[in-house]
Amino acid sequence: MKPSVLVDVTVQIVFPAALVLSLYFLFAGHNQPGGGFVGGLVAGAALALRYVARGYPAVQAVVPVPPPVVAGIGLLVALGTAAVPLVLGDEVLESAKAAPELPVLGTVNLTSALVFDTGVYLVVVGLVMAVLDAFGGEPPEASS
Amino acid sequence: MLVAVAALVARAPEVVDGEVLTESWTWVEGLGLTVDLRLDGFGLLMALLVSGIGLLVAVYAVGYFGHHASGLGRLSGPLVLFAGAMLGLVLADHLLVLYVCWELTSVTSYLLIGWDDRNASSRGAALQAIIVTGAGGLCLLGGLVLLGQSAGTYRLSELLADPPSGTTVSVALVLVLLGALTKSAQVPFSFWLPGAMAAPTPISAYLHSATMVKAGVYLVARLAPAFADVGVWRPVVVVVGLATMLVGGLRALVQHDLKLLLAHGTVSQLGFLVVLFGIGLPEATAAGVALLLAHALFKAALFMVVGIVDHQAHTRDLRALRGLGPGWWPVLGVAVASAASMAAVPLLFGFIAKEKAYDALLHGPGWAGVTLVVVVAGSVLTVGYSARFVWGLLATDKPAVPDVPGSSAPVTSAPPPPTGFALPAQVLTVPTVVLGVLPFLADGIVGAAAAALDPAVGDVHLKLWHGLNAALALSALTLGLGATVFLVGGRLAETAARLPLLAPSSVGFARSLRALNRVADRTTSVVQSGSLPAYLGIIVLVVALVPALAFAADPSWSGWPPLVDRPAHLAVSVLVVAGAAAAAALRRRFAAVLALGVVGYAMALLFVVEGAPDLALTQFAIETLSVVLFVLVLRFLPDRFEPSRLPRRRAVRLGVAAVVGVTVTAATLVATGSRTSEPIAAGFVERSVPEGGGRNVVNVILVDFRALDTMGEITVLLVAAVGSLTLAGSAATYLRRREPGGGRARLAPSTRAEDQP
């Protein structure tokens, strides 16, 4: 794949923005359109952009963890959110809410569902990375 | 196990007096599944055998293996699990709990037979055992469910107190019998038990003589009093039991391996037990209980003796054993006493039990006479192989060992075993002898066990001397004929064992396995053709036709739904149709993918128009990513679709496409107009903020109300991804290896020519 300056520069600009957008989706998702799944997809798309510009090493540079580990951690986080209420004597996946006052952000509505959503986010990101890793090798000579 | 024995002994007096102890825990409340345990007389006897012999076997195993053998953890884990499962089996009062324990014993038995996992034959024997008992277990499950449903209760005690009847019950009983007869190694399923002798001897002594193989007998014993008169129960049980008794006895007579001799002898005795319990006569039931106890005592002891001899002399071949030298009398005494008990020599407990059995059959109805004749014949064989066992162990002058593979060099002496090694077998022999001389000591437990099975059994009085009667005459006849059989030698038995009827049924087993494999191969080659278009065609046709058939069976048409709500719909539709048409018409793969992307984005637009920003967002993100991923994969495929050279194939594909398109359109139209229940959305919207703490109801549903679904979905997603990525990776590696110098491999080349729109 030949590096292209135009693509390279565009990705440099778009990638951070897309990541921020994906985090916004993740955190705002409980009240606004968004959520962990969409956030994960956007982050995945952002990583795919990096991949298009510079290949898989550029993806690895951002996330220096193997894709299955990312997805696995995500699943563990989600499972943990499911299990913690059991330990505390509630139903499985019971959610808890809190609304602390934070210095800059003001009143922030937090729910334990956000943690669960983070798990979903990580699973999706991990899977996109895994696909990029698996199918993202050099194309075969046969079709080039 | 010591605790179990102590607990059982502590409660024994009450149970012997006819009291019943019960325990119950709720297991799965929604299914009404409870773990009901019930300790009655028969349960007590079985539980005492399971835990008592288990304890002795554990002590014995220390001597057998020493402290440093490798893989002992792998042995003792399943062994303890087995003991627990077996206890559960004999104490369970709920049919499904009984079934679960039943299967647990099969599985642990599999693990224990295959303990020597580097030996192919022991792995094969383990597999054979679990296939036979597992298949029987499935039949049993079907039978138990049918029984439970027709009785309206899964409580064993309630079922037996008020037995249902009818055709369903007859079928259920046949299924249950299949389970019981496979588990207890009855003809024609008996072959797995001798194979199971691949297990270490302590395991054989415990599972395959004293306890697990009695599970089938146990079930027959439990059910017989209530069901012996229903359907084919009595003919099946009696015929199978008698056949097993004869076949096992004949095979035992021709064995050279002492352990295999005992194994075939066990098969024979199990047949005898099945007859006594299954026949459904109160007297025979009482005799069966006595024989069950006697058999557990002498057979476990005999197995232990064989293990000791094998361990010290390094052979179990009775042709090679020519006396064991000095210091062996404590072990050989056990062997002689136990074998004599097996042969029903007076003054031993086996004699008391057999007398009781003869007596019961003598006083039974007319057909019991025929049974009696066969039982006597089987007992003659038992005497024969018991004598052969003792002869093989003691005799010093034997014909030369034939020079055949598998025979070992003659042994004339071996170091006697340490005291602790022989102790468990000796402990087991004590009751054999004591109860043989003073049988009334066992009246209490045998009587309680028999009465628990069948209330019609009165007080049981075991006696050594009944006076000169027919049963005594039969016993004398049995011993005399048995001695003759032994003296005439194995020749008679060898001839008999060559009869085709008696050919090892493991041949049939192997044949049926091969046939099964062939069927599986053929089915696979038909079902898994490897053609992607064929798979896809079948999937979409099923998706289209199943709802279509349902609709055709019950057509209802509520009129056309409003086709176009607002102008934007029309614009979006045009986009979707154009994209789809382009995707179908374009010849370049990449262009087709982009055209599909247009369809996807247009759908997202539709969601926007309908006021579903979350859906639209997700659709946009998914669409973008799928195009990227498509591109990644497309690089491995040729640039263009290859046009089909066969017009017929094109016609088929057009037909499939048309059918799917028409039915999906019709289904959409019908479904839109036929909502009958209230949408659940309103409830979710109401509860979203107070319960979920979020104003985005879609997300609250995903991560709160339906979080368990989401959890399942991401798990499935991950598993599917791991699977397909692994496949893709290994395919690539495989192709790369096959085409050295060919550089990167193409993925799935076989689909290329077929892959068309």
Contacts of B377 (CB under 8 A, 6+ apart): B246
Cβ neighbours of B563 (radius 10 Å): 9
B632 touching A, CB under 8 A? yes
A26 touching B, CB under 8 A? no
CA of A128 to nearest chain B CA: how many angstroms apart? 8
B707 touching A, CB under 8 A? yes
Q: What is the pLDDT of residue A102?
A: 67
Suggest the residue from A128, A131, A144 to mutate for an interface test with chain B (most B CBs closer than 10 A). A131
Label residue A3 by pLDDT band (50, 70, 90).
Answer: low
Beta bridge partners of B590: none
Q: At what angle do helices B707-738 and A67-87 cross, to 10 degrees?
A: 160
Distances (CA, A) of B449 to B87, B445, B454, B556: 16, 6, 9, 64
Q: What is the pLDDT of residue B272?
A: 95
Four-point Cα dihedral B5, B11, B16, B20, nearest 10:
-110
Question: What are the structural domain ranges in chain A?
Answer: 5-143
Q: Which amino acid is at B126?
A: A
Which residue, chain included where needed, has tokens 């088929």?
B652
| Ramachandran angles phi, psi of B710, nearest 5° | -60, -45
CA of B654 to nearest chain A CA: how many angstroms apart? 28
Percentage of chain A lying above the pLDDT 70 cut: 76
**Chain A residues whose beta carbon lies within 8 Å of the beta carbon of residue B626:** none
Interface predicted TM-score (ipTM): 0.83
Is A38's CB within 8 Å of B625's CB?
A: no
Per the CB < 8 A criterion, the answer to whether B271 and B350 are in contact is: no
Beta strand B21-28 with A101-102: parallel, antiparallel or unpaired?
Answer: unpaired
What digits encode the pLDDT tens for the residues B202-223? Answer: 999 998 888 889 999 999 999 9
Taking the C-alpha atoms of residue B157 and residue B21, their distance in angstroms, rounded to an integer, is: 12
CA of A56 to nearest chain B CA: how many angstroms apart? 12
Q: Which of residues 299-318 of B touch A (CB under 8 A)?
A: none
Closest CB from A41, A68, A140 relative to B745 = A140
| Ramachandran angles phi, psi of B629, nearest 5° | -65, -40
Suggest the residue from B714, B719, B755 to mutate for an interface test with chain A (most A CBs closer than 10 A). B714
Is B746's CB within 8 Å of A93's CB?
A: no
Question: Which helix (H) or strand (E) segment is B245 a member of?
Answer: helix B233-253
The ranges of chain B with pLDDT < 50 are: 741-757
CA of A131 to nearest chain B CA: how many angstroms apart? 7
In angstroms, how far is CA B492 from the centroid of its own chain? Answer: 37
Q: Which amino acid is at B252?
A: A
Closest CB from A71, A111, A140 relative to B718 = A71
Burial grade of A73 (CB within 10 A; 0-12, 13-18, 19 or more): middle
| Ramachandran angles phi, psi of B405, nearest 5° | -60, 140
In angstroms, how far is CA A40 from the centroid of its own chain? Answer: 4
Fold annotation for B533-676: Four Helix Bundle (Hemerythrin (Met), subunit A) (1.20.120)
Which residue, chain included where needed, has tokens 């090493």?
A57
Closest CB from A33, A68, A109 relative to B617 = A33
Is B744's CB within 8 Å of A137's CB?
A: yes
Q: What is the DSSP string of B121-160?
A: HHHHHHHHHHHHHHHHHHHHHHHHHHHHHHHT--BHHHHH
Suggest the residue from B703, B730, B746 to mutate for an interface test with chain A (most A CBs closer than 10 A). B703
Is B707's CB within 8 Å of A111's CB?
A: no
Label residue A90 by pLDDT band (50, 70, 90).
Answer: low
Q: Which pTM value belongs to this model? A: 0.70
Taking the C-alpha atoms of residue B322 and residue B242, their distance in angstroms, rounded to an integer, is: 35
Closest CB from B638, B721, B729 relative to A143 = B638
Question: Which helix (H) or strand (E) segment is B35 a member of?
Answer: strand B33-39
Q: Which amino acid is at B728?
A: A
What digits encode the pLDDT tens for the residues B226-271? Answer: 898 887 899 999 999 999 999 899 888 888 889 999 999 999 999 9
